[in-house]
Amino acid sequence: MIALGILLVLVLLLVVFGLLFRIQILTSIFSGSSTREIGTSNRVNAILMIAFMVIGGAAFAYSFMDNYGKMNPPIASVHGHEMERLFWTTMIIIGIVFVLTHIALFVYSYKYQYKEGRRAYFFPHNNKIEIIWTVIPAIVMAGLVFAGWKEWTKITGPAPKDSVVLEVMGKQFNWLVRYPGRDQKLGVVNYRLIDATNEFGFDLSDKSGLDDFVAGEIHVPKGHPVLLKIRSRDVLHAVYMPHFRVQMYAVPGMPTKFWFTPTKTTDEMRAQLGNPKFNYELACNQICGRGHFAMKLNIIVDEPDDYVAWFSQQKSFSEQNPDVLASFKQKSDKLGETENAPAAAAVVTSAAKASL
Amino acid sequence: MAANLPTQSQVQGGIGVTEPHTEHDEHLHHDEHHDQHWLFKYVFSQDHKVIAKQFLITGIFWAIIGGTLSSLFRLQLGWPESTFEWLSPFLGKWIEAGKLNPEFYLALVTMHGTIMVFFVLTAGLSGTFSNFLIPLQVGARDMASGFMNMLSYWFFFLSSIIMFTSLFIETGPASAGWTIYPPLSALPQAIPGSGMGMTLWLVAMALFIVSQLLGGVNYITTVINLRTRGMSMSKLPLTIWAFFLTAILGLLSFPVLFSAALLLIFDRSFGTSFFLSDIYIAGQALNHQGGSPILFQHLFWFLGHPEVYIVIMPAMGMVSEILATNARKPIFGYRAMIGSLLGISLLSFVVWAHHMFVTGMNPFLGSVFMFLTLIIAVPSAVKTFNWLATLWRGNIRFTTAMLFSIGFVSLFISGGLTGIILGNAAIDIQMHNTYFVVAHFHLVMGSSAFFGLFAGVYHWFPKMFGRMLDEKLGYIHFWLTFIGVYLVFMPMHYVGIAGFPRRYYAWTGFDSFSQFADLNKFISAAAILAFFGQFIFVFNFFYSIFRGRRATENPWNSTTLEWTTPVVPGHGNWPGEIPAVYRWPYDYSKPGAAEDFIPQNVPYSQTQSSNLPYERDMEE
């Protein structure tokens, strides 16, 4: 019923509009304004062009300034600063071009509006001008490409050998995090072993996986390179950490990676922003289904000491899930009892320290 | 020979020039077909002009659907906390307890993108104007194959029916984004829209590609083979150059999308693993192994990137034509304009992976594609400068078509410049898949192509229907749309710089993203208003077909051949012989000429007062 009512109102509005329009046309025919070929409307449109430029430009400038503060997520990584500089340098260059070309567009439109008896200037081509405005953009582009390429190679280059390694795995619809434990080696996983408990698909017959632990949040130390190993176990996801200027797809069947160096702890950022509830956030940035918009994970940047303390408190997956471990033991006799003993906290601490 | 030539005043009055035609013209008696059955005259017509109108009207239908979908998801984005119970009469079960279903939200953005990119801006734009203008402007009776041309429309029609049907099925239409990246698009367990909806999507797109190829082959053949006497490639209007190169791009790239769709169909239905590997979903490990989702992206964007030029180049061509006509000035740098079109066409094939900088693709590949991507900015810049130079010292008539053309240039600049940011791999790490990208491509290919479409409709409506669109309504339509588009997409950049991801049902869950609630309301309101503004055009269009002011043969005093036909050309276009062509299409305001335009079919021997030195040799 409501649908019908809304449709009826729309139809009535259309009819009223049509009648008004018809009346307007008839009056314009009687008044004779419909026969003039180029009338006042040409002048009105020319003036509107200038008005649009002035008012629109002012509104744009104002709203840009007004929102500038909110626009930039505060930067918390080393390469983020470089990237930011590149971004705003490019913005300034294109901003200049934007303003100049628009002034030309609207001012020419106004200035060269139709005038009775004037004839346009027959100016079909000029090769010198064409060459100038081909070469200048080409040079500017070359500069931007070079700057971008330098930065891109630095960011995507190999991670430093002493990086803190951790794995982020996307699934519908949350993120799972795994740390390599004291041996600094991520254990073998197999997607066929995944179940409700073993969400990573740990293959615990691989010894390097025994000390791996999973975490509910990402913890990383400040001032130390962090290498994210990124995987997905179902559809595409993307690890997007706007404050660190980090983004990389999580692809099922193809591990990816991204490394960065955090520069501010969560506490420092909270103090800087005056927001005690601030958290660095990891968002999914590749459409992945119903819960895509809620695939969030908090990232905590610690002082190195706090990080080591946190690291040493974590219990390994095998320790927390003895059933899973036992099922692998049944399958493989090679796993000796003594080797599997969960690492003592002290050992973990030293390993973590060694990793820093 | 001279005795048969029309007088100067006849030519300038826009009366069709009939030259003595030496060669036999087999289509001379084409008017005979006019007594054919209405079914073959208006429905299964082989007349390129009727087919063009069919494409246009289907395109308008699709644009309304696509716009409606965007209004729905803008409601959700602008007012994420409010109840949408009042929509349930229309959306039924997709409103759950007053909230829009998040999966249906994804279906909305997916179908909005698919419809706008393919069904409106490819079929509706290029399908309409390539069909309508190529034979008329090159001086041909019809397309090379009228039958294939008819098939092209009907394949599109079939495709449209299937795509439209998919909006109403139980599990909902395709919901994996218009780029349909697998595995999401391959697995119904991942999202219900990847079930029947996705199957229909793939079938519809396969038929759509068939339609595009049938059309493209025709456009290319017609431009190469059916040009009238004297119409060398260097005398073609820029519209034709644009349509011609667009058709070549389509012919070379659409088959690649077809192969991607085919492989995806195999993965979905026949258990192959082209794009799938190592997947555990819905409590089950799948058997697929060894496939690569990234391979699909390469295949998709191998079409997907040329596709944006398929969308924008026809608009560029028409805008060039309309700017020159209404500035009463030759297009500046005709050859540079052709050169830049060629450059864009060539480069458009080697930039696709700039959509994939952060997919895990080898960073070296990223460097190469960044380099190639930023190069393509150069021909685009040249085009813009040439348009500006065309306005300089012109004598501008603000017809509605002219306003939309100026709007096109503005939007193309605004959207194109941010491409320099996104093409830079290092910056794209942060900007990828944010609203900055959404704002960028909606300006540079979405809105500007729409502006090109509107400009074309306002400009060539008189030749299509023999009547004029109402100019006053056109002005209102233009200013509403122009202001509306900027109000929507300029603020969207801010949201993007702040890092808002696209295709998010709501941002309220994230502290980083929840700060722009007001701005999002503003964008939504502007978008919905601008959408409703389009109904002014729809009204104007259908009203003017039947009641518009009657047009004259050449209402804009234009130089190209279509304006030498009768007010409403019949099948065969020219009642007599096809006029021959003597000059380039941009002799506007030539010094010494009696009028401020000299049509292409006027020989130099009749314009001795205005001939340039090198043209004097061609007077005979």
Q: What is the pTM of this model?
A: 0.91
| Residue A234 contacts residue B279 (beta carbons within 8 Å) | yes
Which B residues, 468 through 527, put their C-beta within 8 Å of a C-beta on chain A?
470-473, 475, 479, 482-483, 486, 490-491, 494, 497-499, 501, 503-507, 509-513, 515-516, 519
- Average of per-residue pLDDT values in chain B: 91
Torsion angle of C-alpha atoms B606, B608, B613, B617, degrees rounded to 10: 50
> B290: buried, middle or exposed (CB in 10 Å: 19+, 13-18, 0-12)?
exposed
Strands A256-260 and A246-250, how do they pair? unpaired
pLDDT at B99 over 60: yes
How far apart CA B280 and CA B565 sit, in angstroms, is 64
Q: Which residues contact A83 (CB under 8 A, 6 or more apart)?
A: A151, A155, A245, B426, B427, B429, B430
Query: How confident is residue B13, by pLDDT bands cut at 50, 70 and 90?
Result: very low
pLDDT, residue A5, reads: 81
pLDDT at B32 over 70: no
How many A/B residue pairs have CB atoms within 8 Å?
356
Q: What is the DSSP string of A93-162?
A: HHHHHHHHHHHHHHHHHHHTB--TT---------HHHHHHHHHHHHHHHHHHHHHHHHHHHHHHSPPPTT
How far apart CA A222 and CA B33 sit, in angstroms, is 81
pLDDT, residue A1, reads: 65
| Domains of chain A, each with CATH number or no CATH | 42-112+130-157 (no CATH), 164-332+345-354 (2.60.40.420)
Residue owning tokens 């190829």: B213
The mean pLDDT value for B503-516 works out to 83
Query: How confident is residue A86, by pLDDT bands cut at 50, 70 and 90?
Result: very high
| Residue B188 contacts residue B195 (beta carbons within 8 Å) | yes
| Residue B340 contacts residue B380 (beta carbons within 8 Å) | yes
- Average of per-residue pLDDT values in chain A: 88
CATH of domain B45-273+284-608: 1.20.210.10
Option in A2, A236, A292 nearest B293 (CB): A236
pLDDT at B413 over 90: yes
pLDDT at B512 over 80: no
Query: How confident is residue A23, by pLDDT bands cut at 50, 70 and 90?
Result: confident
pLDDT, residue B507, reads: 83
pLDDT at B7 over 50: no
pLDDT, one tens digit per residue, over A132-142 is 999 999 999 99
- Angle B309-B456-B158 (CA atoms, 0-180°, nearest 5)? 70
How far apart CA B16 and CA B574 sit, in angstroms, is 8
Name the phi and psi angles at B505, rounded to 5.
-65, -35
A12-41: string of b/e by CB count within 10 Å (b at 16+)?
A: eeeeeeeeebeeebeeeeeeeebeeeeeeb
Name the phi and psi angles at A175, rounded to 5.
-110, 140
| Residue A116 contacts residue B395 (beta carbons within 8 Å) | no
Q: Residue B299: what residue type?
A: L
Of the ranges A118-132, B281-295, B420-434, B497-511, which one carries the lowest mean pLDDT score?
A: B497-511
Q: Residue B226: what residue type?
A: L
pLDDT, residue B21, reads: 44
Which A residues, 302 through 341, put their C-beta within 8 Å of a C-beta on chain B?
none
Tell me the two tokens of residue A62.
Answer: 């104002």
Query: How confident is residue A355, by pLDDT bands cut at 50, 70 and 90?
Result: low
Tell me the two tokens of residue B150.
Answer: 């008819």
pLDDT at B135 over 50: yes
Option in A67, A201, A279 nearest B494 (CB): A67
- How many other CB atoms are found less than 10 A from the CB of residue B511? 16
| Residue B325 contacts residue B558 (beta carbons within 8 Å) | yes
pLDDT, one tens digit per residue, over A264-314 is 999 999 999 999 999 999 999 999 999 999 999 999 999 999 999 999 999
| Residue B21 contacts residue B578 (beta carbons within 8 Å) | yes
pLDDT, residue B141, reads: 94
Query: How confident is residue A32, by pLDDT bands cut at 50, 70 and 90?
Result: low
Number of residues in chain B:
620
- CA-wise closest residue to B501 among A18, A295, A105, A141: A295
pLDDT, residue B6, reads: 41
State percent of chain A over pLDDT 70: 90
Nearest-CA distance from A223 to chain B in Å? 21
The mean pLDDT value for B50-65 works out to 96
pLDDT, residue B488, reads: 96
Option in A122, A145, A191 nearest B591 (CB): A122
Query: How confident is residue A345, by pLDDT bands cut at 50, 70 and 90?
Result: very low
Residue owning tokens 């209405």: B38
pLDDT at B2 over 60: no
- CA-wise closest residue to B474 among B485, B463, B459, B489: B459
pLDDT at A196 over 60: yes
State percent of chain B over pLDDT 90: 83
pLDDT at B426 over 70: yes
pLDDT at B265 over 90: yes
Q: What is the DSSP string of A252-291?
A: BTB-EEEEE-B-S-HHHHHHHHT-TT--EEEEE-S--STT
Residues of A in contact with B510 (CB under 8 A): 281, 283, 296
pLDDT, residue B468, reads: 93
Please give the helix or strand (H or E) that residue A349 lies within, else none: helix A345-354
For chain B, the domains span 45-273+284-608
How far apart CA A220 and CA A261 sit, in angstroms, is 9
| Residue B283 contacts residue A172 (beta carbons within 8 Å) | no
pLDDT, residue B581, reads: 95
Which among B347, B417, B508 is the top mutation candidate for probing chain A, defined by the most A β-carbons within 10 Å of its own β-carbon?
A: B417
pLDDT, residue B8, reads: 40
pLDDT at A333 over 60: no
pLDDT, one tens digit per residue, over A51-83 is 999 999 999 999 999 999 888 889 999 999 999
Which B residues, 338 through 377, put their C-beta within 8 Å of a C-beta on chain A?
358-360, 363, 366-367, 370-371, 374-375, 377
Residues of B in contact with A46 (CB under 8 A): 396, 398
pLDDT, residue A35, reads: 57
Q: Which residues contact B62 (CB under 8 A, 6 or more apart)?
A: B115, B119, B120, B123, B124, B160
Residue B549 touches partner A, C-beta closer than 8 Å: yes
pLDDT, residue B509, reads: 81
Option in B472, B505, B511 nearest A293 (CB): B505
